[in-house]
Structure 1
């Protein structure tokens, strides 16, 4: 067993913030050392918590459409790593799921990402992931950060959350589907088709 596998097992046993989680701890992460694409999301939703399969919901269907890949490729840990900012379902607030808990970033992210040396593309989904992966390079809000995607490409592409709750955002920002998605599909295809 390599160092990454040992760390993933340790993470999956983590219960640091279990008392704060409405459904208990169930850390959900994926990825092998050979992965070239990193999907950096927010935190699992309730369906993902129940199945332990990331993006196993309507958001995942849309995300795979955005990337131009099927479930087989998306869930191939040798090609795609999925490392959300929070590994467990955080619960629900007034306007949707609560933010990812900070314990995961503080405890696990640095050492986990160091063990994914072949990542060439980080898809940064949502504000919390952008704050972490873009550091001080993001713009005044999520829309402006996504609009400035060319500043971060080819290594990082900021995305809005693919949730159906963002349908209004997508209608108001047609440039995203016209400009960003064709680039992402091309880049993802290039990475997953390479041996």
Structure 2
């Protein structure tokens, strides 16, 4: 994302991954400590993480990224969407203004579904696809929004403000919700 670098003088992926690495452990510790204060979606995220036995670092980072929308009372389902590879393409992205689409293999077996693709969606169109993981897709989505100077969707503004001001350290004027999360991360 050369345009992001031109605007901010920061390498999007390097800075995002470093911030995610720095905050993952604290975010997960916070989610577990406040588990009862969150919706059932947080239980699903943490239970899924507890069952993982391979590539734990990637799963921890994914769980850490899925938590802020829940904590900040943003709409997680408007940011992260899972679908099956057999779902009609138009249905996969319907209503997704900006978000991350994870395509899973449609398999009738009891085994966990295989991840086929991760894509970034803007205005119900895939703009980047075949990304290696959710953290990469999240970084690219944030970079696109920031570089194109798009307004954060109302249902997700606190989540993207957290990425911008806490993770990427771009700006200092924090809303009360984001300041609260930042203070909890620094404890």
- Structure 1-normalised TM-score? 0.28
Structure number having the greater helix percentage? 2
- Structure 2-normalised TM-score? 0.28
